[in-house]
Structure 1
Amino acid sequence: MFDTHGRIKCGTISVPDFQGSLSDWTGLLGYDCVETGKVPIELANGWGALKTLGARTALLAPPGGGDTAFIRIVEQPAVLAYLPMRTFGWVGYELTIRDVPSLHDRLRGSSIRILTPPERTPDGAGWTPIEATGRAGEVLFFNAVTETLRDLEFPRAVAEVDRIMVAMLAAADRAAAVRFHIDALGFSEGGTFRLPYPIINTAFGLHPDTESEATVISVGSMPVCEIDQFPPGTTQRKQLLGYLPPGNALVSFAVRSLDAVRAPLIAPPETLDGPLYAGRRTACTRGAAGELIELIEVGDGAG
C-alpha cells in the first residue's frame, strides 16, 4: 500500500500502564511490536511535549501491514480528570477488522472494555461496529467494512485487527475544523451526514435516537478523518503541562510537502528514521479543534 497524501500513518496513544497497554495490543488485538525505545528530543520538541523526553514508547503494526500503518504508545502519567468522549480533540480511532463477532467474543471481560456491543445491520448482511475503550482511555471502533460507503473506499482488513481507517475528531466549531483540514493541510470535504452515535449519546446521557452531525474529510475516495459536532457540555481536554494529551493523543498523516502546509508548525521539521518515518521530514501542528497533528512528508507518493 502506497504512502499517499492524506493517508493515516499512525495513531498515538498516551498510556499510564505501558506494559499493560503493550500486552493488550499485542495479545488481545494481535499487533506486532516493530520498534521499542525512548522518546528522542526531536519528537518531544516537535510534539511540544518536552516532558515526554526519554519516556518509553513502542511502535505497533498489524501483521502483514507492510510498515504502512501503525499504533504508537507513549508512557506518561495518568490525567485523573480525563473522560473518554467528553472532550474536544481526537476522540477515537476506527480500525478495520475481519470478523466482528469473533473479536467481540475475545474482548468480552478483558481490559479492553466494550461500551456498545455489535448488532446485526438492518439488512442482516453485516454488523454494527464494536465501540470500546482501552485501559489508557483510548476510544476504539472496530468495524468490518465490506462495501464502499458514501463513495469512499475504506481499506479491507488483511489481519484480524488491521489498520486505522478513520480518525474521529470532536470539534466545538465543526465548520472551522473542516476548513483547517482543507485549507491548511490540502485535504478535501467528503460529505456531511447525521446519525445516532451510541457512544456519544451514552457519554452525554442523551436519548439513544439523538443524532450527531459529522463531516468526512477525504483525499479522493480515501477517507482521512471524521469531524463531529459534539454536544453542549463537551470541554477542553485537560493535560499535564509538557506532556501529550491523554487517551487518543495525536494522529500522523502523510502529506506531499511540509512546505505546502498553511499552518504554524510547533517546531521546525526534523528528518527521522525508523519504520514510521523512514528517513523523511516530519513536523507537528495544532488544528482548529486543538487536535495535535503530526505530518510526515512523502512527496507525490512512495512505497
Structure 2
Amino acid sequence: MSSLSEIQAAAARIAGHTRKTPLLSSPFLDQIAGRPIFVKPECLQHSGSFKFRGAWSAISNLSMDQRRAGVIAFSSGNHAQGVAMAAAHHNCSAIIVMPSDAPEIKRTNTQALGAEVVLYDRETEDREAVTAALNPDGARTLIAPFNNHDVIAGQGTIGLEIAVQSAELGIDSASVLIPCGGGGLTSGVALALEQHPGLTVHPVEPEGFDDVARSLVSGKPEINQRLSGSICDAILTPSPGELTFPILNRLCSEGIVIPEEDCLRAMALAFERLRIVIEPGGAIALAAALFHPDKIAGDTVIAVASGGNVGAEMFTQALKNMKA
C-alpha cells in the first residue's frame, strides 16, 4: 500500500517540475453554496490536469534501462497527456491506448506531445488486453492510471499542498471533495491528509458511474453496468482500483453522486467567477459543493478541479446552459 513517506518522496521528485496550484475562492460562489468554498485548480497543471504529477512521479522513478525501453499506458485522455509529456521530458518513448470516443483535443494533444496513440472501442474491447497485446514481451513499463504506487504517490502531493494551504488560511476543518474515477487521486489525497483528521475526503462521481460510492457502502469493489455515455469522460472507470480501494475504504467518507448536467453549470460558474476552464469530470467536485450542500457536512469545502482539457464545443455548451 502507498504511504505518506512515498508521497513525500514523490514530492521531492516532482519539485521544480510541477506547479503548486493555489486555493482559489469567490464570494459569489460562497453565496451560492451557503458556505466558504476553496477550489484547487489542477486544470492549471502542466498537461492540463493533475495527472502530470503521477506520471512524472512514476517515470522519474524508473531506471535508465527502463526509460530506454519506453513506457506504455491506457487512458481516456488526461493520464495520456501527462504520461506523454513526462516521457518526453525523460527522453522516453510512449505508447498510449485511448478509447475511440475520447475527446479529440485529448487525442491530438497526446500525439502532439510525442506519444504514439492506439485507439480501442470501450464497449467491445478491454483496454488492458489491448495494452498487453502491444507489449507482448513486457519490455515497456506499464504506467497504469491509478493502479500504480508511484502514480498514487504523485497524485497525493496535492493533499500535501492542501494541508499546508489550509493551515495558512486558518482552516482546520473542511470537506475535501475529489473527482473520482479509479481512485488514484482520491486515495493519494486521503493518504496525504490522514494526519489531518479535520480534513475529510469525499469521492464525487456522476450518476450511473458511482462504483466508488457503492463500494464504500458495500465494503467491496463494485462494478459499473455502463462503460461509456457520460460527458464526464475523465472519470469513467469500470470499478475502483485494486490498489486504491483499500485506501479509499479505510480513509474516505461517503461518496457523493450528482447528475452530470450540474457539471456544466459548475464549469460556467468557474469561468465566470474564477476565470478558470474546467472539463466536465474535473468540475464535478465543485458542482457537488455548489448545488448539493445537503450532501456535505461542515462549514467549509475544498473542491479539487482536476482537469481542464475540454473541447470548444463542450465548453460552449456549458456557457450556453448558464445563460439559458
Q: Kindly indicate which of the two structures has a greater share of residues assigned to helix.
A: 2
Shared fold (TM-score, shorter chain, > 0.5): no
Tell me the TM-score normalised to structure 2 length: 0.29
The answer to which structure has the higher strand fraction is: 1
Structure with greater contact order relative to length (CA < 8 Å, sep ≥ 6)? 1
Give the TM-score of the pair, scaled to structure 1: 0.31
